[in-house]
Structure 1
Amino acid sequence: MKPPPFSYHAPASLPHALSLLAETGSDGKVLAGGQSLIPLLNMRLAAPAHLVDINGITELDRVDTDATGVRVGALARHSRVEADPAAAAAVPLLGQGLRLVAHPVIRNRGTTVGSLAHADPSAEMTAALALLGGSVVAASTDGERTIDVADFFVGPMESSLRTGELLVSAHFPRPPAGSGTAFAELARRHGDYAMCGVAALVTLDQDLRVCAARAAYLSVAPVPLVLDLTEPLAGRPPGTADFAAAGRMTRGRLEPEEDIHATAEYRAHLAEVLTARALREAAQAAIRTSLDPAESAREGAPT
């Protein structure tokens, strides 16, 4: 399989890249890791007249951690983000999700921000950003704008990114103090997109009782879906919390679609089971990090 003809551009600076995107408009496509774009080109599912390769813009290859969370630049590879110790300590969910992304060879080339720009509702990073209430920064010749995650994903493979804009970074906020996170998913084969996946966040109060619980879902809705599951767990220590009830609550609030990989009923069943599992693991992580704050670094560290 070969891609359709296109003009190739390799800007060495961000202003040059933005100028090219403004000039090419809807005929231009950004190339970063290429792990989603190149297969689409080869299968003739996309046919842009221009490719703007941003790999020469070194300022976009960065992972920065501060008191607010982790900011990932547009050229930071999945593997770099996954292996970053400061990012693992601040936002363990990043490492927990990234280790489930495809295979190491894909993570060595694919970019975290590129995955978000692709807006696939079956991708781990879209769910992670949604669960944490993160944001992205889009740049164009008109300047920069910050887009909250709730406004960014608007449909399957569709975002609110405008023609001529480049997604330059994503911000993953630190979870609240006393929180733990976990990822659980099931795929037909290791490395495939999940038939259903759940990212969970549980927060404990000073008495180590659940005060908040949320979960984000892969492969069950057109966009990353986040549910508040605090009600059946609130006020209980993790050891007696009814995580199965939270799973049942989830099943009643989802309307997954059927496809060649799984029936809607099976996806709903997976959502129930994986929700209980992910919440339980997140609550256990919350206990560990509450008792030993240094444990958060180990929660997200690569294994």
Structure 2
Amino acid sequence: MRYLSPLRYPGGKARLAPYLKRLIEAQQHRPSQYAEPFAGGAGAALHLLKDGTVSSIHLNDLNPGIAAFWRGALDYPNEFCDLVRTAALNIDEWYVQRDIYSHPAGHNDLELGFATFYLNRTNRSGILDARPIGGFDQSGRWKIDARFNRESLCARIQAIADMRHEIYVTEQEGLDFLAALQGIADDVFVYADPPYLVQGEGLYLHAFDADDHVALAELLAEAAFPWMLTYDNDPRITERLYARGRCATFEIAHTAHRQHVGQEAVIYSPRLNVPDLLITRGRIARWVDAS
């Protein structure tokens, strides 16, 4: 199965799974657990669990809808797939699901999780606060059902549900989640892909502010666990927040609003053994000159 995550994310990091696998396997003390504080679609995490690189994964997301999706899909896969197979794919239903997502109080994980999933699969680029594919009048080239292949999505949901005993889902602030991992620091690898400095407000329900970015950098500087971090390639990342860190830049394709190749920054924990810089297929990162 090429795609494991049922969720779509612009700039999704599932394509980093082969690199993360090499990174984990290159460590002298190889971690058996893997964690993402800003999990989103968790594409890389699922691949690493599926292929046996790690024995368990910890997925955290502060967005109540995303967290509810993971809990709902893992705990109620059959009921979730019933909804996937029977949901109407039209603008009237889109409004129903958007209302559930926008007003989560009173809805259980199955209801809120499915509403989040529905918007993710029917909105432009998978962005939860975007408009539906094809527009409200459905006059676009692609219609609202363009990314909603019912049986393929159900197969993915069943595949991750089969691994549910090795998947741990939390709904915390990313910094609190990372602090809690210190208790298993000698056996967990952390990959963090936080809300970007640029465009963060449009892509994430709970975007970081400047203080959050600083707090994340300070926490990682003192963390006992090995980690890798990716960010948008903003000078403030490599020249200020992680000026003393090991930073590189790499190219990656993005699909939010329009497909293009952008640049991102990658930062490694101080003692991490980095085997190579072939982060995505055919694209080799370059170290940032610390001078």
Query: What is the TM-score of this pair, normalised by structure 2?
Result: 0.27
Name the structure with the higher strand share: 1
The structure with higher relative contact order (CA 8 Å, sep 6+) is 2
TM-score (norm 1): 0.27
Q: Which structure has greater helix proportion?
A: 2
